[in-house]
Amino acid sequence: MGEGAKPFRSAADMQSEADRTVEKVKRDVEEWVEGFNLQEISSKVQDFGRKNPIALALAALTVGVAAGILVRKKL
């Protein structure tokens, strides 16, 4: 270890670091979600569905099955 380095951190230091990390992730996710343009996303999905209806149906089925599995595991 380098000079002045502490070999162990206190629980308060680790909790403080965890709190800062959680807050950073929260801010990043909020910024990411605020950047969504739902109208544009909806338009793109509709266009894709018109061009590739079978692919859209398979994607919807896959998402539905995955959601069902997650819900079942939570209960």
Model confidence pLDDT, tens digit, residues 25-67: 889 888 888 878 888 888 999 999 999 999 999 999 999 999 9
pTM for this predicted structure: 0.47
The separation between CA 64 and the C-alpha centre of its own chain, rounded to angstroms, equals 18
pLDDT tens for residues 57-71?
999 999 999 999 999
pLDDT of residue 7: 64
Angle at 56 between CA 29 and CA 64, to 5 degrees: 65
Contacting residues for 1 by C-beta, under 8 A, at least 6 apart: 7
pLDDT of residue 3: 60
